[in-house]
Amino acid sequence: MLFKPGESCEICDSREGVLEQCSMCGAYCCENCRDDKEKICLTCQEARCFICAEYLASRACDRCGRLVCEDHGVKVNEVTVCNLCRANET
């Protein structure tokens, strides 16, 4: 099945209203599934790095559970620790 973006909201599948592209991931989403102020979809809003908010997360921090991008979390022995927890531990 070929994915054809732009026909409906990529999050809730709604075909109503104006679809706009998320500035972080490019997904087309309806007004219920985006934050117009930040111009991003709700998925990116939840999945972005809690430290920089600039990039999407690659892992959850094993200590605090929050999501971090590759720049703000270090993976040691299969365990990801965010820079904030690392700073607090040292």
Partner 1 sequence: MTMTAVHLGMDDIDSPRGGCTTHFASLLVEELTELGASWLDYPNLIRLNPNIPYRTRGNGAVTLRFELEASDVDQVLPRSNLLLKKYLKEDYPNTNPGMVIATGDVPVDLLGFSKLALWRTVPVALARRLVARLALPYIAIGNRRGLIGALSAIGNPLRQDHTYEYIAYRSIELTSRERGVDVDSVFKMNQKYGNRLFSNIDGSAQKILIEPHGPDPVIYGIRGETPLDVIKAADLIQSKQDKERWMVFRTNQGTGAHLVHRVRLSDIRPYMAAVVEGEVATKSKIIEGGHVIFKITDGPTNAECAVYEPTGEFREIATMLIEGDKVSLDVGVRPASRMHGLTLNVEGLRILQLTDEVILVNPICPHCLKRMKSAGKEKGFKCIKCGFKDPQAKKTEIPVERQLKAGRYLPPPRAQRHLTRPMNRMDRRNNGIPNNLVDEWHDP
Structure tokens at 6: 């732009």
73, exposed or middle or buried, with CB in 10 Å at 0-12, 13-18, 19+?
Answer: buried
Examine residue 84 and tell whether it contacts partner 1 (CB under 8 A): no
With respect to partner 1, which residue has the nearer C-beta, 59 or 86? 59
Give me the half-sphere count of Cα atoms (radius 13 Å) on the Cβ side of residue 7.
4
For partner 1, the binding residue among 20, 53, 59, 84 (CB under 8 A) is: 59
Examine residue 7 and tell whether it contacts partner 1 (CB under 8 A): no
- Total residues interacting with partner 1, rule: CB under 8 A: 37
For partner 1, the binding residue among 19, 30, 67, 82 (CB under 8 A) is: 67
Examine residue 62 and tell whether it contacts partner 1 (CB under 8 A): yes
> Cβ of residue 22: shortest distance to partner 1, in angstroms?
9
